[in-house]
Amino acid sequence: TYGQLLIINAGGGYYVVLAGMARISVNVGQFVLAGEPIASMGDGAAKTATAIAIGASQPVLYVEFRKDGAAIDPGPWWAKAELEKVRG
């Protein structure tokens, strides 16, 4: 009901959980670089439970940051402006 699920090991006990994609284009254990395409959202025709629950007409991406197995506040990870770099 969440679409395809991808868990990225960011190192240092950090993980990024992504859900809602239509197709994942990387393999288990594959090393990926920042900015590298890893999945696609699809056209929204296949509805996930989240998209249905909120009445979204577009695909919905779920993002969760985890540290040592516990969810953490993602606020510090998001850039505030288009030109500002995210510092983790």
Q: With pLDDT > 70 as the criterion, what percentage of the chain qualifies?
A: 77
Q: Which element (helix H / strand E) includes 39?
A: strand 39-40
Residue 80's pLDDT band (cuts 50, 70, 90): low
Look at 56 and 14; give whichever has higher pLDDT.
14
pLDDT of residue 12: 94
pLDDT of residue 88: 47
Q: What is the mean pLDDT of residues 8-22?
A: 91
The rounded distance, in Å, linking the Cα atoms of 88 and 79 is 10
pLDDT of residue 62: 85
For residue 60, how many C-alpha atoms fall within 13 Å in the half-sphere facing its CB? Answer: 14
